Amino acid sequence: MSMPPTGKRLRKRHVILLAIAAILLIGVIANLSGSGKDQAGKQREANSAPATATPHAGSLAARAVSSTGSRAAAKAAALVRAKHACIGRPPASGHIYVRVITPGMSPQAQKLGGRWGWDHTTHKCVTSVQRIIAAAPRSAGNCTQVGYVSDNSGYDVNAMPAAPLANVVAHAGPACATPAPAPTQATPSQPAPTAGQVPPASTAPTGCHPLTNGGNCYEPGEFCRASDHGVSGVAGDGESITCVDNDGWRWEPA
């Protein structure tokens, strides 16, 4: 049997090798293409993730803003209720005299009521005495004196210049010549009786205690004496009161 020529065998081997190489090359290209598609798919998923999370984060932020707004609204409503309750309270004390000394002007005086008032700066309910003293100027040459009408019998509020108050419950300003007793020690009282004079009978309702120096009942919000610190009693309207330090020692509802 005769063998094929050597040249033909070599050409046939080359064709087989080329076919195998082509198959391997196609497989490599297919793998690279699939890997590229997988990477592109992962990238698209990564890009879409923030977009999916954004609505959730926005919802949380919206709820936080809503909660903050609700708390602010509740606080504002509470302040409005406290203000209305303050204005509706019965007078904290009797009428007061306010004498003011201003540089370059004659001293002047006026008579004011003893009602409670709302302090918009501190958001507290304050007496007329506290309100006047808090607003009094503290610069050189100024003086603001406050005294109860019941403690300054016969005082002429229209006199020019206004005379000094005989009994001062509180004052503020460097030009105040005479020291006023601390608010914790001052209460409306009657002048001491002179020789041969009979002290006026007490007009205090039965059951209230302790009594002022003038024999009257205390009311919630009035300043109390140093000797009454921590003491409990009964106001003129029958309400239980205690002398406590609340921006100054005052009789407060127990």
In a domain, 1, yes or no: no
Angle at 225 between CA 176 and CA 223, to 5 degrees: 70
How far apart (Å, rounded) are the C-alpha atoms in residues 166 and 185? 16
In a domain, 66, yes or no: no
154 and 120, same domain (yes or no): yes
Mean pLDDT by 10 residues, the chain (254 residues): 56 73 73 61 59 58 74 85 83 86 92 84 84 89 92 91 91 75 45 49 64 82 83 86 83 84
Q: What is the pLDDT of residue 43?
A: 64
Q: What is the pLDDT of residue 98?
A: 94
What is the residue range of 212's domain? 181-188+203-254
Q: Residues with Cβ < 8 Å from 52, sequence gap 6 or more?
A: none
In a domain, 160, yes or no: yes
Q: Is the dihedral of CA 146, 149, 153, 155 positive or negative?
A: positive
Give the chain's domain count. 2
In a domain, 211, yes or no: yes
Task: Say whether 27 sits in a helix, a strand or coil.
Answer: helix
Q: What is the pLDDT of residue 37?
A: 57
Our CA dihedral for 118, 124, 126, 132, rounded to 10 degrees, sits at: -70
* This prediction's pTM: 0.44
